[in-house]
């Protein structure tokens, strides 16, 4: 579960501001003003008689007021009592009773008066009473003798204290006496028993009274209660112990807590229920205490008046009591009078409105004197709860007291009328900076004072217009409220205060900040004990605010533990324990806002082991086991596993018994005889298994006959003349008693023999000798112990020992299906001659020789086994055109029988494998030599070879295919009339009479014309000479100069001589620059008219000679796959892909040399 909470500082400021709005207008203390009481003691003031009495009275005014006191309505002369002093610059009284004084001497009603030249203010009537904690009066407490089932009330009757004491009942050991529906304490402190029980007998029922004010506890004499039993108990219907009768009345004051009580007696103990007649009990204000015997309603109002009924009920009947509640009210304010500041000639009113039940009486005083006898003031007029002022003058300044009282209390309020003529003043500091979070209210203060009351206007910016409209709220105290501040609300605001005596202004500044947000919140985690967890808390905040991140656990501080590691954006907890379970909260605080997010960590683990194992219902073959589950460690228990130990037969070894659901804590267990049982329980949840519980007590079951016989009985002969009977022995607890043995019985099947039996012990097999070979036997094995036999066992069939088969399969026939597969047939042998369990037939076959090679080879026999009673089988994987032999044998559990006579068969011819190699040598301009080897596996008689070849052009397109048939006895061939410098692809395969075999492919290239090769070599040699390089640089410089001159002459509009000569006599050997690529035309030999084909590839041995020139034409044709024009110039790269890459190629991937590109220019 995750929660998120955001608190804005602006909202807190708004709450504070609203509180300020209801206070009276504050007059600056540098201006004349009547006194105002600022602090006073409570009306009902209970003092500690052991300490000095301090009666507070503080006031402010200009000039500072003087103070006087009355006591019990008369002047209290402080100077005449040495124990009474007044604090300096204050009206607070200090009465020193620490040195022999008595607090009782100063009991009474005190009232303080603060006075200056503009009026007098008075405090409330302060009633001083010292607290009292009297002792219990001595009395003889008689023991209480009560019959079981009767009611009982133990009276406390505490002494009357001030304030009243808190009552509770304890024993001699200062332990509170337990209370419940049957026994409980009433509101008056008495202890009520609805009915008593023998366990209520005790001699130390003690009532204690605690006086909190003096921090003392008083104790009543112990009360002894003895309960005597009478049989049978008589049940009875409920009656009320308190309150008595059927009806009663209760008066409570408004705002107090209403407590109604009904305590009933009866047998069985009654249950109490509350209802309000004609209405519902108030929701959220109603509580039930003292086991529903007390109804509690808080903050009662007049609406809570009415009839409340308590009903006490038990199975024999019910009783009820009705309490009529009347809610009265001491006076409470509706409108309290507030200070009034007026300028000369203004009008005003003081209003004093209060309510109560009964309705309070309103009376006015002026300067602490009843207004009826006070000096006349023509500017005022009293009208009940209102005083109306008109055309006031400075002499009208005074303090007025309003008193609202009824029989339940009174209210007294001071409010002054201060007549001043003052120009406006702004009390808020100038240039005050306000910072708020966006989308929150902004409150800009303009606290002011003036008389007459100034008018307030607000402006934004230096030349801004007056603010008005729905975007702003203007409060009476001058505050400007922006209900939803946005980023554009940032700026300077000016407030102007005006009255008829002048005006004044003040600037304040507002900054609106981005809210702090948690963009990655902590998430709910379930972690196993001992693991680790990390809660992330990534925040985004206004860059001008500095956030602080605090982590809390369960709304408190994190434990002081090094396992808790706080990082910038996360909290890590290492090696988690159970105590780490809880809610973790990330709180991000700035000076303006706070945001938080919470996540729950649940620590889980394997369950704690069960405990308190108990064995009940102990019978011979069953027992009941019960236990108490251990703590599930926050992962519900899914099941319980019950294990047992056999302390007699396998001590220390625990076996699985059963398992039950996780909600079950008892199980009925089935038992075996003659076992010394101990049990333990293991709890399982999703995390894993608990540690085993402590072992239960041991339980030894009685011995009995075996319940079961050995399992897995078999009869198998190990020799041709015996029968081995084997079985799985019983485990220790299966023996059911001492002296476990086995009765082994056998007889030959279907011959009418009697059973032969033998009794053995501590073994799991018995060998019967002298049996016929492989005949069926009936067998059984029965368990027995000292108390008797197990039930009759089941019979099983077995066989005596096997021997090798006697005869070989006959009439073996072979049929060749194809050149690699043959089918074999044979006749089965008689079952009697098998002399054992027939497992199948086994074929041995081997290749004698290959018919094509006419030579014998090493004999390698192969074996195929065919399970069951089959009479045929297939021989796969044979070699074509070969001679094979085979024989067939029968197989049983003992081994193989004799072999059938060898059978010879031949496989027909097949297609040959590919020739063993194909080599192409001796390339010339128009011929290539081909050499090959015969197929490794001819698979028949070769009748011919077939050669196919075709040329490959520069784009890897294949030319026409040529086919040549070659006699089978040839191993080489010279191909003539081929094109020079051409690549060819060859396909070569052998044939038998059955068909063609797999082909082998190869590629080769004829060499190029030697004249062309020499020409290219010569060009390379010239291009690398120093004189040629110098000449080329000179020609380039000359051309550059000519171009510059040409450019100048053309700008002048004339022709230059060289240009004219070029126009008239074009040099046929100098070609113009090509328009497409800007290169010079290349040199052409007049004698060479044939186009130069693509360069010759590497020789057939796939190597490049080291001594060849790096710039030769061969390199361009092969290394970079180049092409040439008819005159030998380079025109591009050969980009076609070969069908088969050379096996040992060493082609270069370098770019063509720039020297070669210029070779033909010489």
Please indicate, yes or no, whether the overall pTM of this predicted structure exceeds 0.75.
no
For residue 191, count other CB atoms closer than 10 A to its CB.
22
Is the pLDDT assigned to residue 695 strictly greater than 80? yes
Pairing of strands 502-513, 432-437: parallel
User: Residue 1088: is its pLDDT beyond 60?
Assistant: no
CA distances from 911 to 52, 331, 736, 876, 947 (A): 131, 127, 77, 17, 17
- pLDDT tens-digit map of 945-960: 999 999 998 778 888 9
Lowest mean pLDDT among 11-25, 34-48, 104-118, 1030-1044: 11-25
Interval 475-485 mean pLDDT:
94
> Which phi and psi (to 5°) does residue 647 adopt?
-65, -15
Q: What is the DSSP string of 922-965?
A: ---SS-EEEEEEEES---S---EEEEEEEEE-TT--B---EEEE
Residues 738-769: tens digit of each pLDDT = 999 999 999 999 888 899 999 999 999 999 99
889 contact partners, CB below 8 Å, separation of at least 6: 805, 808, 809, 841, 842, 844, 896, 897, 898, 899, 900
From 76, 78, 71, 65, select the one nearest 126 (Cα to Cα). Answer: 71
The reported pLDDT for the residue numbered 1073 is 36
Q: How confident is the model at residue 30 (pLDDT cuts 50, 70, 90)?
A: confident
Average pLDDT, the chain: 85
- Does pLDDT of 45 surpass 50? yes
Rounded Cα–Cα distance for residues 1116 and 982 (Å):
15
Among candidate residues 165, 169, 177, 150, the one with its CA nearest the CA of residue 241: 150
Q: Are 332 and 84 contacting, i.e. CB atoms less than 8 angstroms apart?
A: no
Could you tell me which residues come within 8 angstroms of residue 231 by beta carbon, excluding any fewer than 6 positions away? none
Structure tokens at 238: 């409920």
317/735 Cα distance (integer angstroms): 65
Which phi and psi (to 5°) does residue 733 adopt?
Answer: -75, -10
Percent of the chain with pLDDT over 90: 71
H or E element in which residue 776 lies: strand 776-785
Provide the pLDDT confidence category of residue 856 given band limits of 50, 70 and 90.
Answer: low
On the question of pLDDT at 1158 being above 70, the answer is: no
Model confidence at 784: pLDDT above 70? yes
pLDDT for residue 857: 60
What is each CA distance from 81 to 77, 89, 93, 97, 103, in whole angstroms?
7, 20, 12, 12, 14
Average pLDDT for residues 1118-1142, to the nearest whole number? 35
**pLDDT-derived band at 1025, boundaries 50, 70, 90:** low
Is the pLDDT assigned to residue 1048 strictly greater than 90?
Answer: no
3-state SS assignment for residue 515: coil
Q: Angle 1057-1064/1026-1052 helices, nearest 10 degrees?
A: 110
Quick check: 1145 pLDDT over 60?
Answer: no
Position 23 confidence tier, pLDDT thresholds 50, 70, 90 = very low
Average pLDDT over residues 419-423: 93
Q: Please state whether 271 falls in left (phi above 0), alpha (psi between -120 and 50) or beta.
A: beta
Pick from 683, 643, 692: nearest CA to 665: 683
User: Using one digit for the tens of pLDDT, what is the confidence trace for 181-203?
Assistant: 999 999 999 999 999 999 999 99
pLDDT at 25: 61
The pLDDT > 70 percentage for the chain reads 86
- The DSSP result for 169-223, as a single string, is EE-TTSPBPP--SSEEE-TTS-EEESS--GGG-EEEEEEEEEETTTTEEEEPPPE
124 DSSP assignment = -
Indicate if the pLDDT at residue 40 is higher than 80: yes
Q: How far apart are CA 971 and CA 969, in angstroms?
A: 7
Window from 870-879, 1009-1018, 1139-1148 with minimum mean pLDDT: 1139-1148
Question: Measured between alpha carbons, how far is 445 from 728 in angstroms, rounded to an integer?
Answer: 100
CB 1084 within 8 A of CB 1091: no
pLDDT at 1116 over 60: no
Dihedral sign from CA coordinates of 276, 280, 286, 288: positive
Q: How confident is the model at residue 1011 (pLDDT cuts 50, 70, 90)?
A: low
What's the farthest any 2 CA atoms get from each other in the chain?
A: 161
pLDDT of 27 reads 85
Segment 522-548 mean pLDDT: 94
pLDDT confidence of residue 22: 38
Tokens 């921090």, residue located? 215
For residues 443 and 481, the answer to whether their CB atoms sit within 8 Å is yes
Q: Report the pLDDT value the prediction gives residue 222, as an integer from 0 to 100.
A: 92
Mean pLDDT of 909-934: 92
- What backbone torsions phi and psi does residue 198 show, to the nearest 5 degrees? -55, -30
- Whether 335 shows a pLDDT value over 80: the answer reads yes
**H/E element, 115:** strand 108-116
Which candidate, 356, 407, 360, places its Cα nearest to that of 385?
A: 360
Cis peptide before 232 (omega within 30 of 0): yes
Rounded to 5 degrees, what are φ and ψ at 174?
60, 35
Identify the weakest region by mean pLDDT among 341-355, 402-416, 461-475, 716-730. Answer: 461-475
With cut-offs at 50, 70 and 90, classify the pLDDT of residue 731: confident
Q: Kindly list the distances between the CA atom of residue 209 and the CA atoms of 134, 159, 182, 224, in Å, as whole numbers in the listed order.
A: 10, 8, 23, 19
């Amino acid at each position: 579960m995750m929660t998120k909470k955001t608190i804005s500082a602006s909202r807190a400021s708004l709450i504070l501001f609203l509180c300020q709005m209801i206070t009276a207008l504050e007059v600056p203390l540098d201006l004349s003003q009547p006194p105002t009481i600022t602090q006073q003691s409570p009306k009902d003031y209970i003092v500690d008689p052991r300490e000095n009495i301090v009666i507070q009275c503080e006031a402010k005014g200009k000039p500072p007021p003087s103070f006087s006191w009355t006591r019990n309505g008369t002047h209290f002369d402080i100077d005449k009592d040495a124990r009474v002093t007044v604090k300096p610059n204050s009206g607070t009284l200090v009465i020193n009773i620490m040195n022999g004084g008595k607090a009782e001497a100063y009991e009474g009603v005190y009232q303080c008066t603060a006075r200056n030249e503009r009026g007098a203010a008075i405090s409330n009537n302060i009633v001083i009473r010292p607290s009292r904690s009297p002792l219990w009066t001595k009395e003889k407490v008689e023991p209480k003798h009560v019959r079981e089932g009767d009611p009982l009330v133990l009276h406390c009757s505490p002494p009357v204290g001030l304030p009243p004491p808190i009552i509770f009942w304890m024993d001699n050991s200062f332990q509170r006496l337990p209370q419940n529906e049957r026994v409980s304490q009433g509101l008056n402190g008495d202890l009520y028993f609805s009915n008593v029980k023998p366990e209520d007998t005790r001699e130390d029922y003690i009532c204690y009274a605690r006086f909190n004010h003096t921090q003392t506890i008083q104790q009543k004499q112990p009360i002894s209660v003895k309960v005597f039993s009478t049989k049978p108990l008589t049940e009875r219907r409920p009656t009320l112990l308190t309150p008595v009768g059927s009806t009663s009345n209760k008066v409570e004051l408004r705002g107090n807590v209403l407590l109604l009580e009904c305590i009933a007696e009866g047998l069985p103990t009654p249950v109490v229920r509350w209802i309000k007649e004609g209405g519902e009990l108030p929701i959220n204000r109603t509580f039930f205490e003292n086991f529903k015997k007390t109804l509690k309603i808080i903050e009662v109002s007049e609406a809570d008046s009415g009839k409340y009924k308590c009903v006490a009920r038990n199975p024999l009947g019910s009783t009820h009591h009705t309490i009529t509640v009347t809610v009265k009210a001491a006076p409470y304010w509706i409108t309290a009078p507030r200070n009034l500041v007026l300028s000369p000639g203004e009008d005003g009113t003081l209003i004093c409105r209060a309510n109560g039940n009964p309705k309070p009486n309103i009376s006015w005083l002026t300067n602490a004197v009843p207004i009826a006898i006070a000096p006349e003031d023509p500017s005022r007029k009293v009208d009940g709860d209102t005083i109306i002022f008109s055309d006031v003058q400075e002499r009208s300044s005074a303090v007025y007291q309003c008193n609202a009282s009824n029989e339940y209390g009174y209210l007294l309020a001071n409010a002054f009328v201060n007549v001043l003529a003052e120009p406006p003043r702004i009390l808020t500091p100038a240039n005050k900076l306000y910072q708020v979070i966006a989308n929150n209210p902004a409150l800009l203060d303009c606290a002011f004072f003036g008389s007459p009351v100034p008018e307030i206007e607000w402006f934004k910016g230096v030349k801004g217009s007056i603010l008005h409209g729905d975007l702003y709220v203007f409060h009476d105290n001058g505050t400007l409220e922006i209900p939803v501040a946005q980023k554009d609300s940032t700026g300077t605001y000016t407030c102007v205060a005006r009255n008829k005596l002048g005006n004044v202004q003040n600037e304040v500044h507002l900054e609106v900040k981005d809210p702090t947000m948690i963009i990655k919140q902590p998430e709910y985690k379930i972690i196993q004990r001992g693991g680790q967890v990390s809660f992330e808390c990534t925040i985004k905040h206004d860059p001008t605010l500095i956030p602080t991140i605090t982590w809390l656990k369960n709304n408190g501080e994190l434990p002081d533990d090094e396992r808790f590691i706080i990082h910038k954006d996360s909290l890590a907890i290492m090696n988690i324990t159970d105590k780490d379970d809880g809610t973790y909260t990330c709180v991000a605080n700035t000076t303006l806002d706070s945001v938080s997010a919470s996540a729950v960590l649940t620590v889980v683990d394997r369950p704690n082991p069960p405990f308190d194992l108990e064995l009940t219902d102990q019978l011979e073959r069953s027992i009941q086991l019960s236990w108490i589950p251990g703590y599930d460690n926050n992962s519900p228990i899914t099941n319980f596993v019950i294990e047992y130990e056999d302390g007699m037969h396998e001590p220390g070894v625990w076996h699985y018994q059963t398992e039950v659901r996780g909600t079950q804590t008892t199980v009925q267990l089935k038992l075996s005889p003659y076992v010394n049982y101990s049990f333990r329980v293991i709890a399982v949840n999703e995390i894993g298994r608990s540690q085993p519980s402590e072992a239960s007590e041991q339980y030894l079951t009685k011995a009995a006959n075996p319940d079961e016989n050995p399992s897995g009985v078999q009869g198998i002969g190990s020799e041709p003349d015996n029968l081995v009977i084997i079985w799985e022995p019983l485990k220790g607890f299966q023996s059911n008693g001492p002296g476990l043995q086995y009765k082994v019985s056998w007889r030959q099947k279907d011959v009418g023999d009697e059973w032969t039996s033998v009794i053995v012990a501590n073994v799991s097999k018995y060998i019967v000798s002298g049996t016929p070979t492989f005949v069926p036997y009936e067998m059984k094995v029965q368990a027995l112990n000292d108390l008797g036999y197990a039930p009759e066992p089941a019979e099983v069939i077995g066989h005596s020992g096997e021997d090798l088969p006697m005869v070989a399969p006959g009439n073996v026939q072979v049929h060749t299906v194809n050149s690699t597969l043959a089918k074999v047939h044979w006749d089965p042998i008689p079952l009697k001659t098998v002399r054992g369990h027939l497992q199948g037939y086994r074929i041995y076959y081997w290749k004698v020789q290959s018919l094509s090679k006419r030579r014998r080879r090493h004999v390698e026999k192969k074996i195929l086994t065919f399970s069951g009673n089959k009479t045929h089988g297939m021989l796969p994987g044979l070699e074509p055109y070969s001679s094979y032999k085979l024989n067939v044998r029968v197989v049983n559990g003992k081994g193989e029988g004799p072999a059938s006579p060898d059978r010879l068969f031949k496989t027909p011819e097949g297609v040959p494998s590919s020739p063993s190699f194909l080599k192409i040598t001796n390339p010339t301009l128009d011929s290539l030599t081909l050499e090959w080897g015969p197929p490794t596996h001819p698979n028949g008689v070769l009748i011919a070879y077939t050669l196919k070849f075709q040329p490959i052009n520069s784009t890897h397109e294949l030319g026409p295919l040529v086919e040549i048939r070659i006699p089978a006895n040839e191993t080489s061939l010279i191909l003539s009339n081929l094109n020079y410098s051409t690549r060819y692809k060859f396909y070569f395969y052998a044939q038998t009479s059955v068909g063609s075999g797999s082909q082998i492919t190869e590629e080769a290239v004829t060499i190029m014309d030697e004249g062309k090769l020499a020409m290219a070599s010569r060009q390379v040699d010239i291009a690398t000479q120093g004189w040629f390089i110098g000449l080329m640089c000179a020609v380039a410089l000359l051309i550059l100069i000519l171009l510059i001159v040409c450019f100048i002459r053309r700008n002048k509009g004339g022709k230059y001589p060289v240009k004219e000569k070029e126009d008239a006599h074009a040099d046929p050997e100098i070609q113009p620059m090509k328009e497409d690529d800007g290169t010079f035309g290349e040199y052409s030999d007049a004698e060479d008219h044939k186009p130069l084909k693509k360069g010759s590839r590497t020789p057939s041995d796939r190597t490049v000679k080291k001594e060849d020139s790096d710039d030769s034409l061969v390199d361009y044709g092969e290394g970079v796959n180049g092409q040439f024009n008819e005159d030998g110039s380079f025109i591009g790269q050969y980009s076609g892909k070969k069908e088969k890459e050379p096996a040992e190629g060493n082609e270069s991937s370098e770019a063509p040399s720039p020297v070669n590109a210029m070779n033909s220019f010489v």
